[in-house]
């Protein structure tokens, strides 16, 4: 079986082989040398991804370990990339783990729900700018993460003064091209659901999209 690498909870590259995890020890000229995370068994990996294991492990393999690392890595990524509440992100991942797993191994080896929520809240605070409480606290220019769609496409069209007030206009290039080809645009504004540091949120769409379709600019 060829070498499979995973990322530890601390972001370190590890070897995952036949249910055993190994820490990186050193790089040789044409190979890498690894030591089991639980015992003194060692492994050598080669550029063709072949693995040679030396010494017997003093414990049983744990197949769920790599899956758990994968779930934790995906949760960390989601906690900064998604804007949704951490509670929902964690609960959804735990429900999926529960459904996928034929045994209860996955859930029993994951940290308890409330601890995972705390870990991810801390991770989000460290990696995302704080929520501004006044318009003056809103950074200029806006951090890149707030100027792109989930596909990485540019989303912020304008950030500047309109009638003397800082105003932001968001839309993707594709939506603007679509709007440019439409004869009629529809717009609506609300004072109630916009974030509290702003006065008003306005969104708009084309005649084609106005019946239950999504907004094309904000
Ligand atoms: Zn071992």
The model's pTM is: 0.58
Please determine, for residue 125, whether its predicted confidence score (pLDDT) is greater than 60: yes
The pLDDT assigned to 165 comes to: 83
Q: For the beta carbon of residue 89, count every other beta carbon within 10 angstroms.
A: 20
Domain spans of the chain? 4-54, 64-127, 135-206
Given a cut of 90, is residue 41 above it in pLDDT? yes
**Angle, in degrees to the nearest 10, between helices 113-127 and 64-81:** 50
Question: Is the separation of the CB atoms in 30 and 77 below 8 Å?
Answer: no
Question: What is the structure's pLDDT at 86?
Answer: 92
Distance from Cα 26 to the centre of ligand 1, integer Å: 18
Q: Tell me how far the alpha carbon of residue 218 lies from the centroid of ligand 1, in angstroms.
A: 55
How many Å lie between the centroid of ligand 1 and the Cα of residue 21? 8
Contact 32, 44 (CB under 8 A): yes
Check whether 213 has a pLDDT greater than 70: no
Of 145, 147, 150, residue with least CA distance to 129: 145
**What does the angle CA 65 – CA 122 – CA 70 come to, to the nearest 5 degrees?**
20
- Both tokens of 15, joined, read 């070897």
Where is pLDDT greater, at 3 or 1?
3
DSSP 48: T
Distance 46 CA to ligand 1 centre (A): 20
Lowest model confidence (mean pLDDT) among 37-41, 56-60, 196-200? 196-200
Rounded to whole angstroms, how far apart are CA atoms 70 and 30? Answer: 28
Burial of 73 from C-beta contacts in 10 A (0-12 / 13-18 / 19+)? middle
Spatial contact of 185 and 206, defined as CB atoms under 8 Å apart:
yes
Mean of per-residue pLDDT scores for the chain: 84
- CATH of segment(s) 4-54: 2.20.25.240
CA of 212 to the centre of ligand 1 (A): 57
State pLDDT tens for residues 159-211. Answer: 988 888 888 888 888 888 888 888 888 888 777 766 677 777 777 777 666 55
Distance 167 CA to ligand 1 centre (A): 58
In this prediction, residue 102 carries a pLDDT of: 62
Query: 66-109 pLDDT, tens per residue?
Result: 788 888 888 988 888 887 889 999 999 988 888 876 656 777 77
């Amino acid at each position: 079986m060829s070498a499979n690498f995973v990322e530890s909870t601390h972001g370190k590259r590890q070897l995952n082989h036949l249910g055993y995890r190994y820490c990186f020890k050193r790089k040789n000229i044409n190979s890498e040398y690894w030591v089991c995370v639980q015992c003194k068994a060692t492994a050598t990996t080669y550029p063709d991804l072949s693995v040679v294991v030396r010494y017997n492990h003093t414990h049983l393999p744990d197949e769920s370990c790599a899956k758990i690392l994968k779930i934790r890595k995906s949760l960390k990524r989601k906690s900064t990339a998604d804007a949704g509440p951490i509670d929902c992100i964690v609960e959804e991942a735990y429900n999926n783990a529960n459904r996928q797993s034929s045994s209860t191994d996955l859930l029993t080896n994951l940290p308890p729900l409330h601890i995972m929520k705390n870990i991810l809240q801390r991770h989000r605070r460290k990696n995302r700018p704080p929520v501004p409480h006044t318009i003056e606290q809103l950074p200029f220019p806006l951090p890149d993460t707030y100027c792109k769609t989930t596909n990485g496409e540019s989303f912020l069209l304008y950030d500047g003064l309109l009638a003397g007030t800082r105003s932001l206009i968001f839309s993707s290039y594709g939506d603007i091209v679509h709007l440019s080809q439409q004869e009629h645009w529809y717009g609506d504004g609300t004072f109630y659901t916009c974030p509290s540091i702003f006065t008003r949120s306005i969104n708009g769409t084309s005649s084609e999209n106005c019946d239950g379709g999504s907004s094309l600019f904000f």
